[in-house]
Amino acid sequence: MEQQLLQFINCRLVRNHQLVHDDLWVRDGKIINPEPVFFDEQTKAHRRIDCKGAIIAPGYIDVQINGGYGVDFSYDKDTTEAGVTKVARGLVASGVTSFCPTLVTSPNDSYHSILPRMPTLIEGGAGVLGVHVEGPFINPQKKGAHPENCIQTIDKGMATLREVYGSLERIKIITLAPEQVRDPSVIRDLVEAGITVSLGHSMGTLSDGERAVRHGATLITHLFNAMLPFHHRDPGLVGLLASDAIPAGKTIYFGIISDGVHTHPAALRIAYRTHREGLVLVTDAISALGLEEGVHHIGQLPLQVKQGKAFIAGTETLCGSIAPMDECVRIFHKATDCSQVYAIEAASLHPAKCLGIERQKGTLDFDSDADFILLDDELQLLSTWIAGVCVHSK
């Protein structure tokens, strides 16, 4: 069966870090180069779609999201497939076309139950890139909303990890506290297994962070949150943004939550001005994303949504965001006065690069996956397309 050739006209494409007036050509779930179509095949588009001047951008990628729409990836272990599917279909309404379901620190049997059940391809929903396991190898002094009784230490290298998770097969990112890893060669082993190692929930010093980076760590989990505050004599993990000990040619990426709650606008500006190349917008959204105010659950702990914020029930401890990704992009754009393209790339190209998938995702280059979104000039979402199929439209 001949694949439909789609031509998106009257649009501006995010390409080469700028907005370019050009058409977008899509066939068989991929973005294609139109030249061979004209000259070799001498074919015309089956459908021309008038975008009415909209911006076409790569779909957003969320590498840290704990759940949403009443689903908690860590807590609902008996309904993993249904829960992930529900979230994946909900996320397209915020422009997210792929994501890493994130598990907070949990008992071993939860990992053994949840990880093998993670779906990857979801019809009409965002794609699953692999799981982000945020813990259990974190510092109890910076546990945030993670249950302390489940926190562990890596004392037998990779054997500990296989014991805890059961298998590393579905894991794409692991957040650990570098000072809790006795033998840093385990970081190198994880990277060699195709896993992105992220540093977070940590009391680590700058030298702890630099040692982890030398062994292959490339990401920092929610910068400024659950780590030592910046200090001029030892800037801690935040100091990695300006460290002179990073190997040449290596980029340190960092997740940052621009939900208007977790990170002050001035802190967003500091991060943006210090290390633009590595900035990755994450939602860190929880089960209450898309839900009304009231008491809900995260992992083993009850949470409360009030005044647009989520707290551990009965406390003032924040435990995750409830702002969707498109809102985070707009908040970040306004707070930093960055370009529209930069704000978009912080939620698309940068996370793709961080995971080493920038040839397939986070780009509108030829031969990349046709996962893209249409936006107006205020960065409000108009429609979401996955593999060249419209899965959401305003």
Q: Which of 76, 208, 284, 369 is catalytic?
A: 284
Tens of pLDDT along 173-189? Answer: 999 999 999 899 999 99
* Residues 197 and 286 grouped into a single domain: yes
Tens of pLDDT along 344-367? Answer: 999 999 999 999 999 999 999 999
Catalytic status, residue 376: no
68 neighbors 87 (Cβ within 8 angstroms): yes
Please give the annotated binding residues, written as ranges. 134, 145, 201, 222, 225-226, 233, 262, 318-320
Whether 389 shows a pLDDT value over 80: the answer reads: yes
* Residue 360 belongs to some domain of the structure: no
* Residues 149 and 126 grouped into a single domain: yes
* Residue 169 belongs to some domain of the structure: yes
Q: How confident is the model at residue 269 (pLDDT cuts 50, 70, 90)?
A: very high
Number of domains in the chain: 2
Q: Which of 261, 202, 188 lies closest to 236 in space, CA to CA?
A: 202
38, with CB counted inside 10 A (0-12, 13-18, 19+), is exposed
* Residues 88 and 135 grouped into a single domain: yes
Q: What percent of the chain has pLDDT over 70?
A: 98
* Residue 238 belongs to some domain of the structure: yes
Please give the annotated binding residues for Zn(2+), written as ranges. 134, 201, 222
- At residue 1, the pLDDT reads 45
* Residues 214 and 277 grouped into a single domain: yes
**Residue 78 lies in domain:** 59-355
* Residues 327 and 294 grouped into a single domain: yes
Please give the annotated binding residues for substrate, written as ranges. 145, 225-226, 233, 262, 318-320
Q: Give dist(CA 358, CA 210) in Å, integer.
A: 25
* Residues 342 and 379 grouped into a single domain: no
Record the pTM: 0.96
- At residue 301, the pLDDT reads 72
| CATH at 389 | 2.30.40.10
Give the up-direction half-sphere exposure of residue 341: CA atoms within 13 A in the CB hemisphere.
11
| CATH at 127 | 3.20.20.140
Question: What's the whole-number average pLDDT of the chain?
Answer: 94
* Residues 111 and 71 grouped into a single domain: yes
Tens of pLDDT along 308-323? Answer: 888 888 888 877 789 9
